[in-house]
Each structure stands twice: as structure tokens, then as C-alpha cells.
A and B are shown apart, each in its own frame.
Chain A
Amino acid sequence: MAVETGRSVAQAAGGDARGHGRRTGRTPEKAPGPLRRALATHWYAWAMVAPVVIVIAVIIGYPLLRGVWLSLTNADEANVARTIGVNEIEATYEFVGLENYTAILTDSVFWDRLGWTVLWTVGCVSVTFLLGLMLAVMLNRKLRGRTLYRIAIILPWGIPAFVSVFAWKMLFNEKNGILNAVLSGGGIDGVPWLGDPTWAKISVIVVNVWLGVPFMLVALLGALQAIPSELLEAAEVDGANAWQRFRNVTLPGIRSVSSTVVLLSTIWTFNMFPVIYLLTRGGPGDSTEILVTYAYRLSFLNSPRDFATSAAWGVLILLLLMAFAVVYRRSLRKQGEVW
């Protein structure tokens, strides 16, 4: 935090000395040609950000606008422009206004999917966070084999998610998977892990938690280790018991890291495509389909492919994510970000 402040002070000083920076840039009242002056003082900053601005405008901005436009049309597989071999086929879809949106919002599918997405996100994030915190607290103590435990527990992070999901798919296999084999060895009937709507929901959450715990653990362990031990000692001298120390010293000490990782994890989980797509394909039925996988299904798995509705889902998802962005920004600001 001190570094952060020092930096901005130094920056302000440097900025003034050289005649650029926020303050001088914002007082163009009598300056001859404010635009020219701004250009003179900021041209190198603009030149430095230019590559990214151009790339983003071309490969994100333009498709995004096109996506919004598509969501206002009736585009589907049969009427979009495409190139087949050497033949170019012209687009024949039409503007239909907000029809797609009214159709989506008045249909129960969207609200069902939204409900499950919220449940999925809250469930995954809360369980992941609690497990991560628990394990971090345990690993933060002196014990034998700590490094070994640590390596083992963060292993899931090091494996590409799509590989791990296939590993789980194998464990979950209803007829032959090892989980059911173990259960039947114990005299319990096999569980339709991916075949029953409720079990499938539990299974995808389990896998996502498994994938997410290592990140939480490492981030929280770092935060725990950054708490000065003097604080805990002082609390102990003052007669605080273990729980009180945890509640009043440790938890406040890791609060800023916690809020960041919870927020990140919320965004990731909300957008988590591979787990659901690869494990259940959204099934059985559409019981495990979250918003992003459903939008994908509309345009790439269903037949005929419905690009317009899928684009409209995309826009609605974007609006939801904007809310996350605002919250995230606020949390960054609390940590001393200055923009």
C-alpha cells in the first residue's frame, strides 16, 4: 500500500516537472488549441496504448457490435453469409427488432437456466472458498510433510481442466466407474452420477470445486502468511482464544485477498464452460445447462443452429457480467488502485 501511494506521489511530481500529467492536461482554458496541446503532452502514452486499442477495436469491438446486431435479426444456419469452397453465399436474414429478447425473457427456459446458474455459482464459490480457507489454515501450521501435502493439493491446478474433466468422467461412469464399483463393494447401489438431474448437478459442482480449491488455497495461504505473527501473539497475550484470534485477527487480515479471490472465482464459475460441456453436455435434458453453455448449445449443438437467439443470450449474459465488473472495480479501488 505504501509503495502504491509513493508511486502516485512520485508520478504527480514527475508529471508536473515535465509539464504533462493529469493536472496540466485538464486545464486547457486559455491554451491555444487544446487538442494540439493534449496531443503534445500525451502522444507517447497514446502511441503506447495504440496497438491494444486497435486490436481490441478490430477483433472484439467489431464482432461485439455485430453480435448485438445479430441479436436483433432472425439469423440462423440457413440464412447467414458463408463461404463454401469457392462459392460465397449472401446473407438473407432480416431485422426483427427486439423480438428475440421478448421471446427469451417471456420464456421460462431463460429464468430456469438463470436460477441454476446462480445456484451453481453460489454453491461452487462458497464451497470452494470454505474448503480452500480450511486447508489454508491447516497448511499454515507447522507440521510434518507440509510441502508434500501442499504439492498434492494444488496438483489439480496444474492439469489442463479438460483433461481433469475426462478423468472425472471416467470415475463417474455409471456402469463401470470406480466410484460405483467402490459403492457396490460396500453394498450400496450405484449412483447415476451423470444420469439423474439432481446427481448430475451435484457431480458438476464437485468437479468444479475440485478444480477451484487449489487457486483459493494458494491465494489464501499467501494472505495468511502475510499476517504479522506479532498481531497473533499480542492477541494471545491479551487472552484471546484460538477462535477469537481467528475471528478478530486472521479473518480481517485476509479480507482484501478473500474478496478478490471470491469475486474472481465468481466470474470464472459463472463463465465456466468446459466442466459442464465436457462432463454432461448440459444434460440430462438441460438440467445442468448454465447460461453460457445454453447459448453455445443454441448456436452449435442444436439443429438448426439459431445464431440470433444465441447472440441475444450472449448480450443478456454480458449485461449480467457488467454488474460483476462494477463490483470488481470497487474492490480493486479499495486495494488502492487509482484509476
Chain B
Amino acid sequence: MEFDKLRGDYKKAMESIDLSKDSRDRILSNIRLEDLSVPAEKKATRKRFPFHVVLPVAGAAFAVLILFGVMLGIDSNRFKNMTAVPDAPKTHNADLDEEVKGKVENMIEDGSVDGPADENRQYKVDLKPANDGKNFISGGVDKSVKATAGGVLGKLSFLPFTEYTDCVVTDEKYCIDVHRYEETGGAQDTITIIVADGINDIGGAVVEIHVDGKDAILYGSKDDDEYNRALYTTDNNLFVVIESGKYYGKTVWEDIVKGASVGD
């Protein structure tokens, strides 16, 4: 009841606001000038999706995006682990060397591998031929590849690392020749030469070098000048892969390839 006065006074105040004839005529003339047709496509664009549709779809899309990002991150890390992280430095273990040597000899003796029995060739193991009598190097070459081409031995005779004070040529041989370099500071690296008479794809070529008549391909990172693998072909069509645990620059690899040789 107390607001009845307010209602009356409010109405009186509002009565002062009215649409004059001039204003009405002006509005009418403006309306007559307007295009009152509504294009069909304009109507279609006004359609809006309600929140209960938009929110779940947007949420699902966001979740898929996050999942995709996580998977991409995992794949990226896996790729890094496969290609970029060098093998951990190995320590020289004389006992282990003896053990390995003994196992290889046992394998030769018990006939599990076809190896010549003579003393000179006892470490040149011919595996039973695979791939139609060919030993192949496949992608992801590592030290698990135990294959030489018909008992041909690869050697690394040139030692380019002047900073290394100790050089040990081990007898740790299956069918590969291992040269182990021990650095003054204690860090070690293993460089392995593998010889095979066939090769499958082992990854994209990065840079080619020409050393001492050998046309080699280096694998690693060209931008960073870091490589951990070299491949070249001999005159008698044998494939030679040299692997290192650490990454070295192109000039170092030129010396390594220069010092590599195949045969007795």
C-alpha cells in the first residue's frame, strides 16, 4: 500500500515521455525505407548450438588434443632414445673379455657356428648363411650384429684421438674387431667395425665424405656436426659399418674411416 503513491508519481513522471507526432512520422518514414526481407542464408547463420551439445564436444576435442600431445611427446622421447643418445661408456673388464672369448670358442667347437678351427682364424666366425648365403646389416646397426662376410675381418688401425693416452686393442672379438680407447679422464668409448656382404636400410644419409679412396656416408646430425656411424663399400662389394658410442665431428670421422681396413 505504501508504494501506491510511488506508482502514481512514477506514472505521472513517465507520462512526460511520449512519442511525439514528429518522432512517429520520422520513425515510420525510416521503416518504409528499410528492407524488411530476411535472406534465407542470414537466418541459417543465426542457428546456435546449445551448451549441452557444445560443451561435451569441445571437452572431447580438448581431451583428444591433450592425448595426441602426450603421445607425440612419448614418441619424440622414444625417437630421441633410439637415435640421439649414445651408448653408455663401457668399462674394460678383462674377466668379461675372457668369458666372452671362451663362449665364442665353445660355440665354434660345439658346431653351433661354422668357424674355422685354425688358430689364426679362430675369431673370424662365419655364421650360418642367412638371406641366401648373405650376411646382412640391417637398420639400427649395433654390436648385436655378429656377421662378417665370409670371415673377412674389419680393422681400425688408425687412432685419431690424440687426447687419449691409452689405447687398448682388445681380444673381444666375435666376428667384429673392437678397438677401445681409454681417455685420460676415465671416460671411455668403443668404436666397432662391422663387415657384411649385404645391407638393408639403416637410416637416412646425412653427409658424404671422401677419404683415402673411400666414399663414406656419415649418420648423425649434420647441423651439430655430430656423427656416430659411418658406412662405406669396399671394392669387392663388402659393406663396412663403423659405429661409435659417442658422437664425433666430421674431421674425426674422416680419420677413423681413413684408418679402417678390411681383410687380414
Do the two chains belong together in a single complex? no
Which positions in A face B, CB cutoff 8 Å? none
Q: Which of B's residues lie within 8 Å of A, judged by CB?
A: none
